[in-house]
Amino acid sequence: MKVHNPMISYHSLEGGKSDRVMGVDAHPDVCQGVVVFATVGGGGSGEVRIWSIAPGDEQPKFRSALAKGHDGSVNCARWAPDGCRLASAGDRGTVCLWRGGSDAAWWCELDEKNERARCDHLNHADDVYDVAWSPCGKWLLTGAIDGAATVWDTCTRRPVKVLRDHAHYIQGVCWDPLGSYLATASSDRSLKVYELPPKWHASKKNLKTTTVRWWTDPHEIPQKKGKKTAEEPKAKPRSALFASETAHASFFRRLCASADGSLIITPGAASKDNAKGSVTLSRTQLDRGPVSFLPSPDGSATACRACPALIEGGSSSLVAVCAHDAVAVYDVSSNSPRALASGLHYAALTDAAWAADASLLIVASADGYLSFLRFEPGDLGAKCAAPPRVPLPAGLDDLPRAPPAPQKDDDVVLVGVTPAPPQAPSTPGGAPASPAGSAKKKKRIAPTLLAPPTPVKSPAKSPA
């Protein structure tokens, strides 16, 4: 394993100071080892920046910036499984769906081809901390600080389910790669797992919910309401599974599901002896508590990202656990990390992203920098196989692979695009001079409100 930490300001504030990197995610397409990824910052510029890094490079190259989609801090960015869309979420309840080509090269050549990515908006009532795509790419799960998790239909851009089961901020969401459940983690120290039956999106019934909050121990008896008798044994206080908001000093609890969908890995956990780390839960046996505890290498764990590639010759489930200033790659079948890197940054880690072929792990930090962990063949297993690409969902088949150039009235533009040619000089009368044979500019017609006529009173007759 090789680690690189280039001193590049990925998002800048006024005065040239580096802004916090709140989220990072890699495109599902890897061509000749080149990894394309997106970063978002928390300083209020509202930009989503696209970068690429080649196998032999130690630092990435800036490709383009998607601007004017957000009006404030951007907290998260996630590519859809089809690679055609990028979801970014931030403060003030704004969620942007950037649409373009399915190949990673399309997003790298935006500035050169003078093209733009189309932007659709989904509006929350409050700040959004995390998003997750469904395996088919049609549904998007978002979690906000008002305690609401919303499932959106990305074809119609309408909410399908609104889940209001948390009492505090939702700091992380995930979707099962098999499409059978979704999960949310909150600062109220609970995990909610929702089962997805067939045709769940067309049903008005509430989803079956399982809440995970406590360590399961047969010696710990839950407290009973009412008066206690002398014969009843004294109940020991139950141990909370997740750390409190004070002990977990982070905006995020970004959980994930394993590559095979059998486990849920949740950060922000605390063991009974107050050790900090992450827990793995079996989705079929949630009532039995955690399957294993993954100790955090440094402080409270803030984010978990499962390796998307299937590892042959061992366990198929690898997960990267980000802590305060260290990242560890665990095999979920054991408590010992396969790879560990510490002392990388001056501030807490915020997010991580895997390349589709597991050759690269990108780690983001609140100090404004990224670290790149490059794995050689055999470091993580005998062989890594990238997951198959997902086709576009029904309803998005008409998506153009090369969107038109931005117009003057568009509210979404691309930073770095060649400006439009200057307008023709004006005539002495003030009207612009148009060349012969050119089409006339269409005028915008303003609607006029029509009201029923006011009846006119006839003059009163004078007495004879």
What global pTM score does this model have?
0.80
| Average confidence (pLDDT) over 11-30 | 87
How long a stretch of residues is the chain?
464
Quick check: 137 pLDDT over 70?
A: yes
Residue 417: the pLDDT is: 34
Distance CA 128, CA 146 (A): 9
Decide the pairing of beta strands 61-67 and 74-79.
unpaired
**Which is higher by pLDDT, 80 or 308?**
80
Collect all residues with Cβ–Cβ distance below 8 Å to 65 and sequence separation of at least 6.
Answer: 47, 48, 49, 50, 414, 415, 416
pLDDT of residue 395 exceeding 50, the answer is yes
Q: What Rg value do the Cα atoms of the chain yield, rounded?
A: 27
Could you tell me if 143 and 172 are in contact, meaning their C-beta atoms sit under 8 angstroms apart?
yes
Is 401's pLDDT higher than 90? no
What confidence tens digit (pLDDT) does each residue in 154-168 have? 999 999 999 999 999
Considering only residues 296 and 184, tell me which one the structure prediction assigns the higher pLDDT.
184
411: left (phi over 0), alpha (psi -120 to 50) or beta: alpha
Calpha distance 362→4 (Å, rounded): 10
DSSP states of 5-48: -----SSB-TTSPBPPEEEEEE-S--BTTBEEEEEEESSS---E
What is the rounded average pLDDT of the residues 32-55?
89
Q: What is the mean pLDDT of residues 1-15?
A: 86
Place of tokens 């998260």: 76
Alpha carbon distances (Å) from 173 to 115, 142, 150, 464: 32, 7, 10, 87
Residue 78 three-state SS? strand
Residue 335, pLDDT > 60, answer yes
Task: Give the span between the Cα atoms of 132 and 114, in whole angstroms.
Answer: 30
pLDDT over 70 percentage in the chain = 75
Residue type for position 204: K
Query: Is 175:132 a contact under the CB 8 Å cutoff?
Result: yes
Nearby residues of 282 by Cβ (< 8 Å), 6 or more positions away: 262, 263, 288, 291
- From CA 189, how far away is CA 244, in angstroms rounded? 6
The pLDDT of residue 404 is above 60: no
Residue with tokens 């889940």: 163
- Provide the pLDDT for residue 385: 61
Residue 454 reports pLDDT greater than 60: no
Mean pLDDT of the chain: 79
Question: Is the predicted pLDDT of residue 138 greater than 90, yes or no?
Answer: yes
* pLDDT tens by residue, 268-285: 888 888 888 899 999 888
With cut-offs at 50, 70 and 90, classify the pLDDT of residue 208.
very high
